Amino acid sequence: MKFRLRRYFLLTSLPVVVIITLLSAYGYINFATSIMVEQESHANQQQTRLMGQLLWPRFQSHIIWSKDQDAISLNAAQAVAEIDEIVVDLFRGSNVIKVKLYNLDGLTVYSSQQSQIGADKSNNPGFISASNGSVRSNLTWRNEFHAFEKIVMDRDVVSSYLPLYDTHTREVIAVVELYSDVTNLVAHIHRVRNQVIFGAIVCLSLLLGLLYILIVRADLHIRRQHDALADANVEISRLAYTDAVTQLPNRHRFDQALEEHIQHCRRHNEGFSLLYLDLDGFKVINDDHGHGTGDAILAEVGQRLKNTVRETDMVYRVGGDEFALLMPGANTPESVIQVAENLLEKVAQPIEFGGHAHSVSTSIGIACYPRAASNAGTLIDLADAAMYRAKARGKNCYETAEIL
């Protein structure tokens, strides 16, 4: 299977783009929100100091008195109305939309939402933190919120619990809770987030586009290398199994093919014939006319052998002037005698080369599987022995193997 660089690049890069975009948006939201809450906390601290200066020590006695009072008594106190007047005037025009004042027991001494006066917040983590001198803020979304003199809908609110200090002793004397409307700020953060997402997508898309162009070129280069390597492997395999002179399969391929034929015939209860051929008089031509002429004679003989047999038969050059022929389905000597005679006739015809007519003949040994032998080594030996008997009998003839 070919390695598709473009496909793997897209499969890996697209999720990375999505993850980076989401992480960028998430990181920006968290960072911007934390900065906004921190700034609101700082602003609320400043406003709380101003509020403390206005309320203290004028309402010190009221806060001390409130310790053991119930909600009815606290609501009825004259100080509540006076505190409300100061608070409303102080935060008019600001983003603070609600104020609460707690004594150190956690009792709500004042709230701009009057119904909450007298409520106990002693177990609230924000109150506990502020009563110990720390500021605690958090951002929440409210679908309905009681602001000064009205109810607002769908608001993003930062609530801050802040310690109220005595202006002289610097001790915590009460806790103030301020609610700031940051809906517009949050909306701005989301708009910027969308811009961040859009910018990240555009930048990453441009980067991926450039990388994709490089990947395409690299992929094409890899494919060309892959195809060239495949072609080279095919050529190497061909050269490893092909005789350079005759372009017929060589001895190595013959040995493999013979074993494969035997295995196939064993599985399917079939047979085949092996013909071993050795040229007569070839050495004289090689010695008298040189190896160039000898190679031309071998190439022509190989082509004649190939043209004489069936397409399903295979011709091999297995030695210097030796050839082998595998004939599937022909499992008796009688079935190949006519082929052997045709081969003798074709090879004996003169071969024109270099201005001369050269004549060679061949001796053939025939061995049939499984009649003569059931293994490759014995079958070759029997065919070879039959071929030498044909030479001894006068050459340019054939002999069949003796049945073991």
Residues carrying an active site annotation: 321
Element (H, E) at 370: none
Largest CA distance in the chain: 145
C-alpha 301, offset from chain centre: 56
CA distance 51 to 91: 10
CB neighbour list of residue 378: distance below 8 Å, 6 or more residues apart:
372, 404
* 45, 50, 95, 131, 172 from 136: Cα distances, Å: 11, 18, 18, 11, 15
Q: 173: closest CA among 48, 261, 291?
A: 48
Contact between 177 and 97 under an 8 Å Cβ cutoff? The reply is no
Strands (E) in 196-338, as ranges, are: 272-280, 314-317, 322-328
CB under 8 Å, gap of 24 or more: what pairs does 183-188 form?
183/154, 183/155, 183/156, 185/36, 185/156, 186/33, 186/36, 186/139, 186/156, 187/156
CA 137 to chain centre: 45
Instruction: For the beta carbon of residue 51, count every other beta carbon within 10 angstroms.
Output: 23
